[in-house]
């Protein structure tokens, strides 16, 4: 399912890349091929390369082409979750690999690295990559890659993808970027020099909080082949229905991201001026310590905001009790606004001393700003923060 849209702009590729009207009946939308297996004309002969849906499925293939086009990659390889995609991206580095990871990554990524993958023969070092030279002292002969999440989750620190990629390549290391928070609409790590990109499609790509999925994207053929082999062999694949939903979602990714970012900018500004709020982190605020980098490497600032309320855990719990539009829930990137307490929820698996080191304060709350009317969102936070 090749599209002729390679040179078109993001919004056009989002709707057309990987998709074309069905050649047999003209259906405009790629059908949901809810099938596990495919009839073969003769033993070992496949129609259009399909024999079994773990190996390949037409709905998944259309989505993989679509996502690759949006991220500017030649290969998109989908998995049953963001964690499964992360796992495959690291496994593909080979046995015995050492990986240097940004310290403030998603708690589940840190758990996967330090409590699952480090029990095999792999090893991980966590360091603060705000300084693009910080990783150099940790490079060992077996170091294979840098793992970057930018902005980080939940403190919204940034890593300079271009600067780090240049230094990493001098050392013969790959750079893999978890681009979940920005989506391919606001940040394209491959264009900045990274070698591979991972997304939890559960977030902005899916966008409606109704699916769990991940993807690895790269233009490195040899690395892609290894990731594809893991997709087939380990089998952590998304079902056709989730692929169909994700393919429907990418069509509106651009308009959703614009609204997420516009709402988040207004909410961040409101919070910054509120007396009950000690600190606000949003890459689009001039007060963000890396605002200049944000402007350089991202084309918009996304929908994620972190705030620290005065009064610690008790005050944070009061806000969580009072919000009416913001839903208390993990995850992010859906059309509906969510609020969570990383210390008790998404990052509870991170040891308390590491949380303290990373600045994950007891009064820290994370907002995923949705696409509701911004005035309603601000009014909701205003009443929740009132003394
Ligand atoms: C930045 C980031 N990466 C990866 C993941 C893992 O994705 P999934 O939950 O789809 O496995 C998450 C989940 O919250 C995330 O926020």
pLDDT tens digits, 122-152? 999 999 999 999 999 999 999 999 999 999 9
Residue 119 has pLDDT above 90, yes or no: no
Angle between helices 253-272 and 374-385 (to 10 degrees): 30
Asked if 70 and 17 touch (Cβ cutoff 8 Å), the reply is yes
- Looking at the CA of residue 153, tell me the nearest atom of ligand 1: 1
Whether 54 is catalytic is yes
Work out the percent of the chain whose per-residue pLDDT is above 70: 98
Residue 360 C-alpha to ligand 1 middle, in angstroms?
18
pLDDT of residue 3: 44
Q: CA–CA distance from 120 to each of 79, 112, 113, 126, 127 (Å)?
A: 21, 11, 10, 17, 21
In the structure, what pLDDT confidence band is assigned to residue 6 with cuts at 50, 70 and 90? low
Rounded Cα–Cα distance for residues 187 and 297 (Å): 7
Whether 291 is catalytic is no
pLDDT of residue 127: 96
Rounded Cα–Cα distance for residues 187 and 137 (Å): 28
What does the pLDDT look like over 243-260, one tens digit per residue? 999 999 999 999 999 999
Give mean pLDDT, residues 345-373.
Answer: 89
Question: For 235-385, where are the alpha helices, taking DSSP H only?
Answer: 240-250, 253-272, 291-297, 312-322, 352-358, 374-385
What does the pLDDT look like over 33-58, one tens digit per residue? 999 999 999 999 999 999 999 999 99
61, 203, 226, 355: the active-site residue? 203
Question: For the chain, where are the alpha helices, taking DSSP H only?
Answer: 10-16, 58-71, 82-91, 107-111, 161-170, 183-186, 221-234, 240-250, 253-272, 291-297, 312-322, 352-358, 374-385
pLDDT of residue 346: 79
| Domains contained in the chain, CATH given | 10-250 (3.40.640.10), 253-385 (3.90.1150.10)
DSSP assignment letter at 208: S
Residue 203 has pLDDT above 50, yes or no: yes
Angle at 221 between CA 190 and CA 110, to 5 degrees: 55
What is the chain's mean pLDDT, rounded?
Answer: 95
Residue 38 C-alpha to ligand 1 middle, in angstroms?
32
pLDDT of residue 81: 98
Give mean pLDDT, residues 261-288.
Answer: 98
Asked if 288 and 268 touch (Cβ cutoff 8 Å), the reply is no
Rounded Cα–Cα distance for residues 101 and 182 (Å): 18
What does the pLDDT look like over 297-324, one tens digit per residue? 999 999 999 999 999 999 999 999 999 9
Rounded Cα–Cα distance for residues 293 and 296 (Å): 5
DSSP assignment of 89-124 equals: HHHTT-TT-EEEEETT--HHHHHIIIIIGGGTT-EE
Pocket of ligand 1 (CB under 6 A): 81-83, 106, 108-109, 149, 153, 178, 180-181, 200, 202, 212, 214, 331
Residue 2 has pLDDT above 80, yes or no: no
pLDDT of residue 232: 98
Residue 30 C-alpha to ligand 1 middle, in angstroms?
27
Angle between helices 374-385 and 312-322 (to 10 degrees): 130
Beta sheet of 143-149, edge-to-edge order: 75-79, 214-218, 196-200, 174-178, 143-149, 98-102, 123-127
Give mean pLDDT, residues 228-246.
Answer: 98
In the structure, what pLDDT confidence band is assigned to residue 353 with cuts at 50, 70 and 90? confident
Residue 157 C-alpha to ligand 1 middle, in angstroms?
17
Whether 106 is catalytic is yes
pLDDT of residue 383: 98
Residue given tokens 């820290």 in the structure block: 364
pLDDT of residue 154: 87
Asked if 132 and 107 touch (Cβ cutoff 8 Å), the reply is no
- Three-class SS state of 79: strand
- Three-class SS state of 20: coil
Work out the percent of the chain whose per-residue pLDDT is above 90: 90
In the structure, what pLDDT confidence band is assigned to residue 117 with cuts at 50, 70 and 90? very high
């Amino acid at each position: 399912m090749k599209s002729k849209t390679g040179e078109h702009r993001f919004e056009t590729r989002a709707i057309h890349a990987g998709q074309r009207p069905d050649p047999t009946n003209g259906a405009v939308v790629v059908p949901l091929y809810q099938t596990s297996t495919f009839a073969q004309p003769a033993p070992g002969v496949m129609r259009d390369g399909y024999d079994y849906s773990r190996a390949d499925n037409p709905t998944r293939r259309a989505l993989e082409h679509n996502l690759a086009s949006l991220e500017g990659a030649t290969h998109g390889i989908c998995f049953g979750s963001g964690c499964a995609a992360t796992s495959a991206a690291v496994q593909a580095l080979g046995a015995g690999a050492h990986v240097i990871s940004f310290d403030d990554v998603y708690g589940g990524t840190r758990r996967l690295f330090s409590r699952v993958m480090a029990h095999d023969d792999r090893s991980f070092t966590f360091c603060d990559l705000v300084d693009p030279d910080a990783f150099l002292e940790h490079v060992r002969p077996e170091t294979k890659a840098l793992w970057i999440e930018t902005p980080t989750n939940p403190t919204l620190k940034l890593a300079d993808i271009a600067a780090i990629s240049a230094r990493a390549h001098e050392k013969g290391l790959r750079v893999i970027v978890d681009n979940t928070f920005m989506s391919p609409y606001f940040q394209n790590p491959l264009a900045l020099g990274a070698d591979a990109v991972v997304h939890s499609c559960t977030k902005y790509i899916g966008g409606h909080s109704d699916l769990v999925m991940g993807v690895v994207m790269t233009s490195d053929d040899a690395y892609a082949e290894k990731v594809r082999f893991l997709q087939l062999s380990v089998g952590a694949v998304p079902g056709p229905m989730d692929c169909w939903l994700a393919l429907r979602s990418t069509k509106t990714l651009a308009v959703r991201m614009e609204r997420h970012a516009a709402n988040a900018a207004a909410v961040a500004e409101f919070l910054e001026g509120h007396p009950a709020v000690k600190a606000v982190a949003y890459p689009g605020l001039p007060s963000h310590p890396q605002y200049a980098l944000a402007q350089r490497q991202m084309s918009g600032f996304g929908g994620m905001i972190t705030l620290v309320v005065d009064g610690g855990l008790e005050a944070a719990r009061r806000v969580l009790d009072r919000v009416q539009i913001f839903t208390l829930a993990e995850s992010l990137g859906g059309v509906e606004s969510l609020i969570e307490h990383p210390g008790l929820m998404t990052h509870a698996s991170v040891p308390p001393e590491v949380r303290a080191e990373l600045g994950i304060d007891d009064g820290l709350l994370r907002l995923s700003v949705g696409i509701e009317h911004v005035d309603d969102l601000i009014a909701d936070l205003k009443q929740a923060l009132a003394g």
